[in-house]
Chain A
Amino acid sequence: MDSGKTLCSLIKAIQFQECAVFCAMQEGLKLTVEEGKCVQASAYIPADNFNEYHVRDDVDVMFKISIAVLTECLNIFGSAEESSLKMYYRCEGSPLLLVLQPQSFSNVMTDCEISTQTAESVLELRDEDTEEVAKLVLKAPAFLSLLVDMEKTCDIIEINLSPEHPNVSIVTYGMQDRSCIDMPKSSDMVQSFNCEKSVTLKYQLQHIRLIMKALAVSSKVVLRCSSNGLLLLQLKLEKEDQRQMFSEFYIVPLLDD
């Protein structure tokens, strides 16, 4: 890969846990972190982002790695520097090797051996039996600015989706106060809106706030609500070379007592 910069910023966006499960598939690389059993976040880098990409197809290439160490290594020449990146991994138990070389200095290079551990299984939050009840496509920067302005101390965020005006209504509850954001589907920040029947879902604001770093580097976000309340957010990061990287967040709803 010619520049590991975007890759690094995407991985940083899901860096809310110490360790990530690193998984290399034919289609691309995927790193997954989990927060309790409530949030699962993944960074997905399709294979076409790499100049060269080889992965064994007979076994699953999957291991656990310190995400903090990985981002420090990717950033070894600083976040402003574009550095070419090579990654190697032999087999279970062997370290992940990185070779980095900055584009603007030719007399320096770094190699890293990052130790790996056998991965535990990743939570399967998707339930094939549930149906999708609403889908919403929003511009990521605009959605981010809404989240930034929300009072941090609020615990609960309530998302109301409805075919009726105002379509989207987000309510946060603070100590004494209540705030509400209404967004009609005609708004420029809403790129598409599908909802047949009105739904009300509640989440912990803390969990929703975990997506903010990813929103900051993305252009577009898709929100999908399934009938069991599980929220899936898919974020698209568009690079200058027209290639794309993605991040995904599954967030488990708060259940009414």
Chain B
Amino acid sequence: MKFRAVMIDAGPMREFTNIVSTISRLSKECILRLSPDKIYLIVSEDNSGPAPPMLWCEMPQSTFFLEYQIVGVDDEHKDIYLGIVSANLSKSLVTLKTAKCLKMKLTKKQCPCLTLEIEMPSSTSQQSRQVTHDIPVVVIPRKMWSEFHEPRVPHPDISIELPALKQLRTTIDRMKCMSPEVVIRASAEGRLTLQIKTDLAKVSTRFKDLRVEAFEGPIDHSDSETETQTMEDVSRTCYCRVDAKKFSMFLSADQISHNRTICSIVHKKLVILCLQTEENVKLQCFITGIVY
């Protein structure tokens, strides 16, 4: 197994840092999967054993790295899966925004390490400084790889573009303080509603005129709560109740410069949030619905 990669452009370095720091806020540990054409960051739910990933991020290596060499265990297993403490990776990369060059490689220094060699400019002279971080990693054996495959999800009932993530996050964060759960409701007319309901208050924030990417209606509401929405045709609306904290955490991805973010809902079951960037980075978050 061998891995070596070099990054020299400021843009990708900044983006890589932002992605990693977003991931580190979402989870304590993550899987770094290196494959010949892409690198992946995969997060499973913290508390559970084998479960489909909650967060799936893929980056094409060619847009980030100048040099990229990988040798897997054998010809059939070209990938390398590494378990890593997300915070360790993100904290080591904080200085990357001003760096000249980043070299990443797999090393064995008493234990398996992902070694980052960062060349930093000096603020006081023309010289540069060499910073080396040896981050301990766990090499994931082949038999466990299947746990980290891209989750297969049912076909969403609706896919709608989200409003500015920052704006959405402020609202969700206020709601999060009042209630642990939030209901996300999307309609084929381009409306997105966030609702919370507690003993103390009912709050609903409505966004309208959002672009609907796909709608697979009509939605069957026969087993729904009796709450009637007279204003709109219910068969053209679907909803899902999710953990407000998880939703808010995904929204912190707003620091990654992105093209668009799509929210897909499988009625009452699942919310899939997908952020895409110009460099073809795809960050997906799967939040399962809470059903009573």
Contact = CB atoms under 8 A, between A and B. Distances in A.
Do A and B form a real pair?
yes
B171 A72 contact: no
A75 to B, nearest CB: 6
A89 interface: no
A110 B170 contact: no
B207 A112 contact: no
Interface residues of A, number: 21
Given A76-B205, A110-B205, A105 B167 contact: yes
A77 B200 contact: no
A73 B167 contact: no
Nearest to B202: A113
Contacts of A93: none
A114 B178 CA distance: 11
B201 A69 contact: yes
A121 to B, nearest CB: 22
A107 B203 contact: no
Contacts of B170: 76-78, 81
A115 B200 contact: yes
Contact of A110 (B177, B204, B209, B210): B204
B174 interface: yes
A72 B174 contact: yes
Instruction: Classify the secondary structure of A's interface with B.
Output: mixed
B244 to A, nearest CB: 12
Interface in B243-271: none
Contacts of B175: 72, 76
B92 to A, nearest CB: 32
Contact of B205 (A69, A81, A95, A108): A108
Nearest to B192: A108
A76 B171 contact: yes
B171 A73 contact: no
Contacts of A114: 200-201
Interface string A120-138: 0000000000000000000
B171 A77 contact: yes
B206 A69 contact: no
Contacts of A110: 171, 203-206
A73 B205 contact: no
Contacts of A109: 205-206
A167 interface: no
A173 B182 CA distance: 49
A67 to B, nearest CB: 11
A68 B167 CA distance: 21
B68 to A, nearest CB: 41
23 contacts: A66-B201, A68-B177, A72-B174, A73-B174, A76-B205, A77-B170, A77-B171, A78-B167, A78-B170, A95-B201, A95-B202, A105-B163, A107-B207, A107-B208, A107-B209, A108-B207, A109-B206, A110-B203, A112-B201, A114-B200, A114-B201, A115-B199, A115-B201
